[in-house]
């Protein structure tokens, strides 16, 4: 399992996910910390196999990782 926490990461989320998807066969879990940009749309439209959790608030990096794990 790969766990990724993101917040307003539209500039890098696609490159990040693409590099994992093309090189491994693992479950990818992303927790979005209430982004206000297009991060969630990019994930939903291009990576349907990614498990996406959308937080209604910015939990911070540590707490978001705990939620994912």
pLDDT, position 56:
97
Q: What angle do CA 34, 39, 43 make, to 5 degrees?
A: 115
pTM of the predicted model as reported, rounded to 2 decimal places: 0.92
Q: Write the pLDDT tens digit of every residue in 10-68.
A: 999 999 999 998 887 899 999 999 999 999 999 999 999 999 999 999 999 999 999 99
pLDDT of residue 49: 94
pLDDT at res. 44: 98
Give the distance between the most distant pair of CA atoms in the chain: 32
Confidence (pLDDT) at 24: 77
């Amino acid at each position: 399992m790969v766990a990724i926490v993101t917040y307003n990461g539209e500039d890098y989320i696609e490159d990040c996910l693409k590099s994992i998807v093309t090189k491994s066969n693992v479950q990818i879990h992303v927790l979005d910390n209430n982004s206000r940009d297009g991060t969630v749309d990019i994930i939903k439209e291009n990576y349907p196999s990614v498990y996406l959790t959308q937080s209604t608030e910015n939990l911070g990096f540590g707490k978001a990782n705990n939620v994912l794990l």
